């Protein structure tokens, strides 16, 4: 009898705890990631993360949801909490937008699944709205649509200036932001699972290297995006190339002094842009140069953009793409692990020094199993590449601990 009562009490106690835990989880309002000065914040405290790219999630989800679930659950197990992916696939087959304003519902439901499943794994999404490059349609597909509609188009760079093309782009922005998720029933613009929008993956412009054309486009599209959705953060999608507003920095920091038609400073000065991004591929950008030269470049790339983000722009910085290709000369898994560790150490120490202005990094790219057809040399298959996964996990834990420490000192 007595032992029955103790047993019952234990059982009820455990049940009460379970219910409490459940209530706490259910009661906690999902919070949007916001910005306070040069920091990303959530619930008033600095938001730090370790994250990854997986551009293909929507496409794969429209065909094979299990692969998306596996990728997201492996990522969550490695402590990754932010994922950057494409909310576009223009023209082509299969596509999200097959022609201007015409959408493939099955593909859109793939994106619904990605958002819902990310939420279930406590992963936040950065959703990019168009590509600079031809993969998945991009700028080139948009101007082709306008050409087909009788517009006089000179080059793909008319994307930034042709009124009809700009309207097509705005229509797409509106379509995605106001989409009501068929699984969660929440409109994308109201869903805190989405960390931010990205105007374009890696904007570039050949007809105007100064950066002014792209900055004018950023101004117009950033204002438009925020007019539909003022809850979410917004970023451009830049690699970080300097333009005409900082001639000294073009020479000092752009790889080989190249200009690619963007101006890191003037575009990121636009009011509606909340945080800055850089990408870095020194193996490709500095071909034929020594490992030492690449490391020096990377150090300066970090340091100059971080200085500019915090001191000139007063906005947080995210390292939105970096990776190590298996095709790089001298590649080994150890070389990749060392490279990741190096990048992670810089992110961590800058995040620590600044109390959170360097918010985190996104490795290109992470995959679950059975994704061979998406291998691009940069893939990290979390369940198979155990040493790299350990390096990633270590950084996730470090950033989470730092976030905790910084929010502790915040109250
Ligand atoms: C996420 O979890 C909810 C509640 O458990 C479930 O209804 C939903 O189907 C899940 N989402 C996905 C994409 O599996
Ligand atoms: C960034 O700022 C620090 C501190 O002011 C300075 O020491 C460093 O040289 C700057 N880095 C670059 C690349 O400008």
Segment holding 106, helix H or strand E: helix 105-120
pLDDT reported for residue 408: 81
Domain count, the chain: 1
- pLDDT tens by residue, the chain, 411 residues: 334 444 444 444 444 444 444 444 443 457 999 999 999 999 999 999 999 999 999 999 999 999 999 999 999 999 999 999 999 999 989 999 999 999 999 999 999 999 999 999 999 999 999 999 999 999 999 999 999 999 999 999 999 999 999 999 999 999 999 999 999 999 999 999 999 999 999 999 999 999 999 999 999 999 999 999 999 999 999 999 999 999 999 999 999 999 999 999 999 999 999 999 999 999 999 998 988 898 899 999 999 999 999 999 999 999 999 999 999 888 999 999 999 999 999 999 999 998 889 999 999 999 999 999 999 999 999 999 999 999 999 999 999 999 999 998 644
Considering the domain boundaries, does residue 42 fall inside one?
A: no
17 in a domain, yes or no?
no
For position 333, what pLDDT does the model report? Answer: 96
Specify the residue for token string 């990776």.
323
Supply angle C-alpha 393, 192, 305, rounded to 5: 60
Give me the pLDDT at residue 16, please: 45
Q: Is residue 257 part of a domain?
A: yes
Cα of 183 from ligand 1 centre, angstroms: 8
Closest-lying ligand 2 atom to the alpha carbon of residue 304 = 13
CA distance 246 to 252: 10
Ligand 1 atom with the shortest distance to the CA of 120: 1
C-alpha separations of 68 from 57, 221, 234, 239, 393 in Å: 6, 30, 25, 27, 20
In-domain check, residue 169:
yes
From ligand 1's centre to the CA of 116, what distance in Å? 7
Among protein residues, the one whose CA lies closest to atom 8 of ligand 2:
303
Q: Is 2 contained in some domain?
A: no
CATH code of the domain containing 287? 3.20.20.80
The residues lining ligand 2, judged by C-beta closer than 6 Å to any ligand atom, are 300, 303-304, 307
> Cα(252) to centroid of ligand 2, in Å?
12
Q: The domain containing residue 247 runs over which residues?
A: 49-410
pLDDT at 6: 41
Identify the nearest ligand to the CA of 300 by its number. 2
CB atoms within 10 A of CB 69: 16
Residue 358 lies in a domain: yes
φ, ψ for residue 223, nearest 5 deg = -65, -40
Residue 37 forms part of a structural domain: no
Phi and psi, residue 313, nearest 5° = -95, -25
Nearest to 103 by CA among 163, 179, 200: 179
Residue 18 lies in a domain: no
SS3 86: strand
Torsional sign, CA 166, 169, 173, 179 = positive
Choice from 183, 184, 186, 191 to test ligand 1 binding pocket (greatest atom count within 8 A of CB):
183
Residues with CB under 6 A from ligand 1: 113, 116-117, 120, 183
Identify the H or E element spanning 352.
helix 333-353
């Amino acid at each position: 009898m007595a032992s029955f009562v103790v047993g019952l009490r234990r059982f009820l106690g455990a049940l009460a705890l379970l219910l409490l835990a459940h209530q706490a989880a259910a009661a906690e309002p999902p919070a949007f990631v916001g910005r306070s000065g040069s920091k990303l914040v959530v619930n008033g405290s600095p938001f730090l993360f370790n994250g990854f790219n997986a551009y293909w999630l929507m496409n794969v989800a429209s065909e094979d949801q299990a692969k998306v679930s596996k990728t997201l659950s492996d990522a969550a197990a490695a402590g990754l909490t932010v994922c950057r992916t494409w909310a576009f696939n223009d023209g082509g087959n299969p596509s999200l937008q097959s022609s201007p304003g015409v959408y493939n519902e099955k593909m859109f439901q793939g994106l619904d699944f990605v958002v819902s499943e990310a939420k279930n794994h406590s992963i936040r999404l950065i959703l990019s709205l168009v590509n600079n490059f031809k993969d998945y349609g991009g700028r080139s597909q948009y101007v082709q649509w306008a050409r087909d509609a009788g517009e006089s188009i000179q080059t793909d760079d008319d994307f930034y200036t042709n009124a009809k093309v700009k309207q097509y782009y705005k229509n797409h922005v509106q379509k995605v932001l106001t989409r009501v998720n068929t699984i969660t029933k929440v409109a994308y613009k109201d869903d805190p699972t989405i960390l931010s929008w990205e105007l374009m993956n890696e904007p570039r412009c050949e007809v105007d290297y100064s950066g002014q054309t792209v900055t004018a486009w950023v101004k117009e599209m950033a204002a438009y995006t925020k007019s539909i959705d003022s809850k979410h953060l917004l970023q451009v999608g830049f690699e970080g190339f300097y333009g005409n507003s900082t001639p000294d920095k073009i020479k000092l920091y752009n790889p080989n002094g190249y200009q690619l038609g963007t101006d890191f400073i003037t575009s990121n000065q636009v009011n509606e842009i909340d945080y800055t991004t850089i990408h870095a591929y020194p193996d490709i950008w500095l071909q034929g140069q020594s490992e030492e030269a690449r490391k020096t470049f990377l150090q300066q790339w970090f340091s100059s953009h971080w200085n500019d983000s915090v001191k000139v722009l007063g906005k947080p910085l995210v390292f939105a793409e970096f990776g190590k290709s298996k095709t790089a000369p001298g590649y080994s898994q150890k070389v990749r692990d060392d490279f990741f560790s190096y990048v992670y150490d810089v992110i961590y120490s800058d995040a620590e020094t600044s109390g959170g202005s360097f918010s985190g990094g996104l490795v290109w790219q992470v995959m679950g199993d059975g994704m061979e057809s998406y291998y691009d040399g940069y893939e990290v298959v979390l369940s198979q590449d155990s040493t790299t996964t350990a390096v990633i996990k270590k950084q996730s834990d470090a950033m989470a601990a730092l976030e905790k420490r910084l929010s502790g000192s915040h109250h």
